[in-house]
A and B are shown apart, each in its own frame.
Chain A
């Protein structure tokens, strides 16, 4: 199956708090899991990505946690800031073959000042 399920649909967090967005996939052959950030009127921008051979990857305030057995991965935004307010998309891809992304449906994050 090719679906990637993303939750929650929307999220409101206080400034300084932790934002957590979850994704689940079905196809165990997927081996690349990126997160994209999209501001209104803009294209998605790559935030952070992980391969299934590691369980966690951290870049600044952004961390991906990956659970291969559960087929789930999540994005944690530490010390959330109003500037983080955007829509976040998870995706999954096969690095062999055509390498097209299967995107989740997106999470609209609002960080209150």
Chain B
């Protein structure tokens, strides 16, 4: 049973380009969360999605950032017109349906975005 798969592991973008980060949740997990980790800091919530629905995007910057979790395929975090301040590690996590009583997340290994 593969864990949460994120790709690419490392991504370098020039200022103004677009960054696309992908996340495939664990099999059987229907909840996807994206978190951002700045150097030497904790993880900050960005967005929570279920299939085809954004449930909570209260942590997403209002501009340039978007997320989706289509019916088929991975969840995508898209950052348009990247700036140096977007450089960070972006982690995806997935979890089972709450009815299972299991509240833990499983995190992927992250995508480290560097904007040059």
Contacts and interface: CB of A to CB of B under 8 A. Distances in A.
A98 B107 CA distance: 17
A1 to B, nearest CB: 15
A32 B66 CA distance: 28
**Could you say which interface size class chain A belongs to?**
20 to 34
A93 B106 CA distance: 15
Contacts of B33: 100-101
A89 interface: yes
Nearest to B104: A46
Interface string A32-55: 101010000111111001000000
27 contacts: A41-B109, A43-B91, A43-B93, A43-B107, A43-B110, A44-B107, A46-B104, A46-B106, A89-B43, A93-B103, A95-B103, A98-B55, A98-B56, A99-B48, A99-B98, A99-B103, A100-B33, A100-B45, A101-B33, A101-B35, A101-B43, A101-B45, A103-B35, A103-B43, A104-B42, A105-B41, A106-B42
